[in-house]
């Protein structure tokens, strides 16, 4: 969804969205590839521009994602919630040099493109950053995963059970002199 910056003023412009909005389809396919209609993306964004031409976006977004467990591969449903706080800055002058040296602040903002702010990119970035790095089913229950070896006495790369002996058991194998 793209909004023209001319329609935004210093008074906040509210945008509410639900998972059935057509512009959210690509975002939903990233979160739940097999069934995008189950992503339940919803939220609201308040947009306002300042006198320098910057557009500030604040709000909240929530969604459901289907992700595989890192251990067993079973799909898990994860609920995501994240605040939205972003700034869209006007583009540099058309007379800017071809190789533009970006400042560190430029990495934390979105750019206004062709006089419009792109909310689809903003919502997608916020939800992708809210995804956990690793999913383990059972939420801490180590017996939840198929193929979980934590409950057994096997050591990675070894197929023999560990012997539970005294640390001095090695002395039995020494010969008397």
Extents of the domains making up the chain: 2-130
The predicted pLDDT at position 35 comes to 83
The predicted pLDDT at position 161 comes to 53
> CB-hemisphere CA count at 13 Å for 64?
13
Pairwise CA distance, residues 174 & 169, whole Å: 10
The predicted pLDDT at position 21 comes to 83
Who contacts 1 (Cβ-Cβ below 8 Å, separation ≥6)? 15, 17, 21, 23, 118, 119, 120
The list of the chain residues with pLDDT below 50 reads 139-140, 146-159
b/e sequence 64-76, b meaning 16+ C-beta within 10 Å: bbbbebebeeeeb
């Amino acid at each position: 969804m793209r909004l023209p910056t001319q329609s935004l003023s210093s008074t906040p412009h509210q945008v509410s969205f639900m998972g059935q909005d057509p512009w959210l389809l690509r975002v939903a396919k990233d979160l739940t590839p097999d069934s995008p209609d189950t992503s339940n993306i919803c939220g609201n964004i308040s947009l306002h521009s300042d006198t320098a031409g910057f557009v500030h976006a604040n709000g909240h977004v929530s969604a459901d994602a289907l992700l595989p467990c890192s251990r067993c591969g079973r799909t898990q449903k994860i609920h995501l919630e994240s605040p939205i706080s972003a700034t869209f800055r006007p583009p540099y002058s058309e007379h800017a040099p071809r190789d533009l040296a970006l400042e560190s602040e430029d990495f934390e903002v979105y750019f206004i493109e062709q006089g419009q702010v792109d909310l689809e990119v903003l919502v997608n970035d916020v939800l992708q950053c809210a995804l956990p790095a690793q999913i383990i089913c059972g939420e801490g229950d180590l017996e939840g995963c198929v193929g979980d070896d934590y409950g057994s006495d096997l050591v990675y790369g070894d197929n023999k059970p560990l012997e539970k002996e005294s640390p001095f058991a090695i002395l039995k194998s020494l010969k008397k002199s």
